[in-house]
Structure 1
Amino acid sequence: MSILVVTGTGTEVGKTVVTAAVAAAALAAGRSVAVLKPAQTGVGPDEPGDVAEVRRLAGEEVTGAELARFPEPLAPATAARRAGREPVRPAEVARAAAKLAEEHDLVLVEGAGGLLVRMDDEGATLADVAGLLDAPVLVVVQPGLGTLNVTALTGEALRSRGLRCEGIVIGSWPAEPDLAMRCNLADLPESAGAPLLGIVPEGAGGLGDAFRRAAPGWLAPALHGTWRPPAGD
């Protein structure tokens, strides 16, 4: 796997922190890593975006690239239209990712929001990017009540497009999970039709330098980590 597309079941599910964790684990395993953000929304020209956050957490060794930035916190297609600018299209993203893959062992393409959020007014989505790249997709999910439905829908959308789900990662796992969360450890892989490849603890983004040391312990070997599902799950 040289290119991995990272999406979520929605916004605020921990996608950027998971991307950083995968990057940190890959770096610890001796891989070179690049992260590509096709469209950053809701951030001003001089403000740090998701790429900067990944590099802050995973390390400055990560190569960062951002193709476009729109000021309003909206879906990329809407944000581009309201800004009076051209949207980022899948072919552009695929070209950028392929170029990065020529010089890096792993390229992480982090989308905005969920899999089918519109990138342009023609209805292109991150799924189209994954299709052009023939790249697997990692889905970041929430742990609690309601997550099974949106996880199943995302998995179904991937399969219907002939795309491979590499697995799922829980983006923010609390110190004291409730009953639904504990049950979801077993139920989420079935809903997704893909394995559970990690659990990132709540508040991981605030760990600073300790993030890099801890990240491999949150992720399965398929993502260059050492984590394994609890026995019986």
Structure 2
Amino acid sequence: MGILVVSGTGTEIGKTVVTAALAATALAAGRTVAVLKPAQTGVGPTENGDVDEVARLAGAVTASELARYPEPLAPATAARRADMAAVGPQEIAGAAEKLAAEHDLVLVEGAGGLLVHFDEQGHSLADAAQLMDAPVLVVAPPGLGTLNATQLTAEALRSRGLRPLGVVVGSWPGQPDLAARCNLVDLPAVCGAPLLGVLPEGAGGLRPAAFRTTAVQWLAPVLGGRWSAAHFLEQHG
């Protein structure tokens, strides 16, 4: 897997920390990693963005950001309001493919959900994934309401000829409720792809050294980790 797109079912559900876990796991296996954020919104010119957070947690990744807009809005809206150039799918795909020529793994982290607009033509991360012919990892929250959003994301991917590689729960609570526990079984069913990992709530608050050594325990073998869905279901299902 040269390029992997990391998309969420919405915003603030753990995409960046999942991306960092993927990067840390690959680095621990001796692979070279690049992280591409096509559009960073809601961050000032001197503030750290998502790729900086991934690098802080995961370690020596090549961090790349194509555009940065000051307001915390969808990239197309933020670009229009700032009177700045938007980022289109060709630019995203070109940057990812260039990084892929120099790294073992390129992680492309989206903004919000899969179909958030990046430009005024309505292009989204899905359009870039089509150009790259890249698998998409879906990051979802654990609780009530996640099944509908996850199924819609998976259906949007398949309607474009893309495949969801699997689903990762971005933040598993210390005291999961009934809905969260049931969703461990239902999420892969509605996604039509396996559950490939669960990150504990607060994982992003770990010290980087602890994060790097523990990340492998949160992700399934197909993602380079040692996490077992069957074992997790035995404990929490």
1:74 has 2:76 as partner: no
Q: Secondary structure at the match of 1:74?
A: coil
The match for 2:40 is: 40
1:222 has 2:235 as partner: no
Deviations 1:134-157 (A, max 9, x none): 000001000000000000000000
- The residue type paired with residue 155 of structure 1 is A
Where in structure 2 are the equivalents of 1:107-186 lying within 5 Å? 107-186=106-185
Deviations 1:99-133 (A, max 9, x none): 00011000000010000000001010000010000
Residues in 2 aligned to 1:4 and 1:164: alpha-carbon distance in whole angstroms: 11
Query: CA offset at residue 217 of structure 1?
Result: 0.3
Deviations 1:72-107 (A, max 9, x none): 000000000000011001100111000000110000
Give the number of equivalent residue pairs.
232
Residues in 1 aligned to 2:5 and 2:104: alpha-carbon distance in whole angstroms: 14
1:50 has 2:50 as partner: yes
The match for 1:198 is: 197
Query: CA offset at residue 176 of structure 1?
Result: 1.1
The match for 1:99 is: 98
In angstroms, what is the RMSD of aligned CA positions?
0.8
TM-score, with structure 2 as normaliser: 0.97
Query: CA offset at residue 211 of structure 1?
Result: 0.4
Query: CA offset at residue 187 of structure 1?
Result: 0.5
The match for 1:4 is: 4
Unaligned runs of 5+ in 2: none
Deviations 1:140-197 (A, max 9, x none): 0000000000000000000111001111100000111111111100000001111100
Deviations 1:35-78 (A, max 9, x none): 0000000000000000000000001x101000000000000000
Residues in 1 aligned to 2:43 and 2:6: alpha-carbon distance in whole angstroms: 20
Residues in 1 aligned to 2:160 and 2:87: alpha-carbon distance in whole angstroms: 21
Query: CA offset at residue 230 of structure 1?
Result: 2.9
The match for 2:86 is: 87
Q: Percent identity?
A: 72
Residues in 1 aligned to 2:119 and 2:212: alpha-carbon distance in whole angstroms: 35
- The residue type paired with residue 203 of structure 1 is G
Residues in 2 aligned to 1:135 and 1:6: alpha-carbon distance in whole angstroms: 10
Unaligned runs of 5+ in 1: none
Query: CA offset at residue 2 of structure 1?
Result: 0.4
